[in-house]
Amino acid sequence: MTLELPEAAPLVWAPFGPDRVVEGDNLPLLRALPDGAFRLVYLDPPFNTGREQLRRTTITRHDPIGGTRMGFHGRPYDVVRSSVTRYDDAFTDYWAFLEPRLEEAWRVLAEDGTLYLHLDQREVHYAKVLLDALFGRECFLNEIVWAYDYGARTTRRWPAKHDTILVYVKDPERYLFDATEVDREPYMAPGLVPPEKAALGKLPTDVWWHTIVSPTGREKTGYPTQKPLGVLRRIVAASSAPGDWVLDPFAGSGTTGEAARALGRRFLLVDESPTAIDVMRARLGNGVLIGRGPRDRATPHSAQWPPL
Ligand SMILES: C[S@@+](CC[C@H](N)C(=O)[O-])C[C@H]1O[C@@H](n2cnc3c(N)ncnc32)[C@H](O)[C@@H]1O
């Protein structure tokens, strides 16, 4: 049975009680969360923000995280950002939308927590430079390439068939990474290793071959950007422990919640799309508290979804 909260009472979060699905803009919700509450934050934002909104916005804050972080060559983050975003309006808009959410995601991350940012080839190169400057270059852990093979292939260039997931930790000295919990892969040439090793399989590298959600398979929810459970399971298994809280501010169909539940973690999922909430209600409803988040819409940017 789902536990639906009345509209008038905004659903936020508490460290006890049931898993939660919140409908609304994730920024006011993130701002209402306490520091350091989540072992794992996974973000899979849409790459489409309202350009005209940016034209009205000037970012004036300095040194958003920690007060002392410096970017490349000792330049402050603001300087790194303005040089990276100068040449690409679309990315500038995107980053203006994402930046305040990443700042909050960093704040609510536990001291030994890990943040995964799921991107594609249009934005990852800029985002990597900016995240290095924003979080600190020493906090970069991995660039995971999720490779799939589905759909049409252009013959005019190399068909793009991968996403990139950037992984940052809050503290490079004390983050959690539990390799023993990660599912293993078959060796490419099992005949070249001893039979016991071949039977055990190998630890995945930072390149993950995994099919997309099959359009006809059981996993399919019908939500257009649904990510495979296998990818999220791996992330949750490696970077959180049973009982930990996992946060997904762009939850979509709730894949992170399903992976978290299967592995005994608790979850807080947020999405502003009523369609996504309906999909999550059907997918995860049992025992989950569902409600609307804080209504403060005084945020400068909001993504449009689905893309126009
Ligand atoms: C790429 S999809 C996430 C898909 C998800 N990982 C899954 O497996 O289904 C991005 C989601 O972000 C949501 N979204 C966009 N802007 C948002 C905002 N400001 N607050 C909350 N959700 C937002 C969209 O509604 C969309 O469902």
pLDDT of the residue at 158: 94
CATH architecture of 3-292: 3-Layer(aba) Sandwich (3.40)
How far, in Å, from the CA of 44 to the mean position of ligand 1? Answer: 7
Residue 306 has pLDDT above 70, yes or no: no
Q: Give pLDDT tens digits for 204-256.
A: 999 999 999 988 889 999 999 999 999 999 999 999 999 999 999 999 999 99
Query: Could you check whether the bond before residue 306 is cis, i.e. omega within 30 degrees of 0?
Result: yes
The whole-angstrom separation of Cα 258 and Cα 231 is 12
pLDDT of the residue at 264: 97
State whether the beta carbon of 94 lies less than 6 angstroms from ligand 1. no
State whether the beta carbon of 255 lies less than 6 angstroms from ligand 1. yes
More confident site: 16 or 176? 176
More confident site: 197 or 295? 197
pLDDT of the residue at 1: 67
Burial of 229 (0-12, 13-18, 19+ CB in 10 A): middle
139: three-class secondary structure by DSSP: helix
Burial of 157 (0-12, 13-18, 19+ CB in 10 A): exposed
More confident site: 281 or 47? 281
Pairing verdict, β 266-271 and 245-248: parallel
Average pLDDT over the chain reads 86
Q: Give pLDDT tens digits for 182-210.
A: 999 999 899 999 999 999 999 999 999 99
- Tell me the Cα Rg of the chain: 20
User: Which residue minimizes the CA distance to atom 22 of ligand 1?
Assistant: 271
State whether the beta carbon of 23 lies less than 6 angstroms from ligand 1. no
Burial of 219 (0-12, 13-18, 19+ CB in 10 A): middle
pLDDT of the residue at 90: 84
How far, in Å, from the CA of 305 to the mean position of ligand 1? Answer: 8
Q: Give pLDDT tens digits for 2-48.
A: 777 656 566 778 888 899 999 999 999 999 999 999 999 999 999 86
User: Which residue minimizes the CA distance to atom 12 of ligand 1?
Assistant: 250
Alpha carbon 160 to its chain's center: 21
How far, in Å, from the CA of 222 to the mean position of ligand 1? Answer: 14
Rounding to the nearest 10 degrees, give the CA dihedral for residues 61, 67, 68, 71. Answer: -30
The whole-angstrom separation of Cα 158 and Cα 224 is 24
State whether the beta carbon of 273 lies less than 6 angstroms from ligand 1. yes
Q: Give the model's confidence band at 117: pLDDT under 50 very low, under 70 low, under 90 confident, else very high.
A: very high
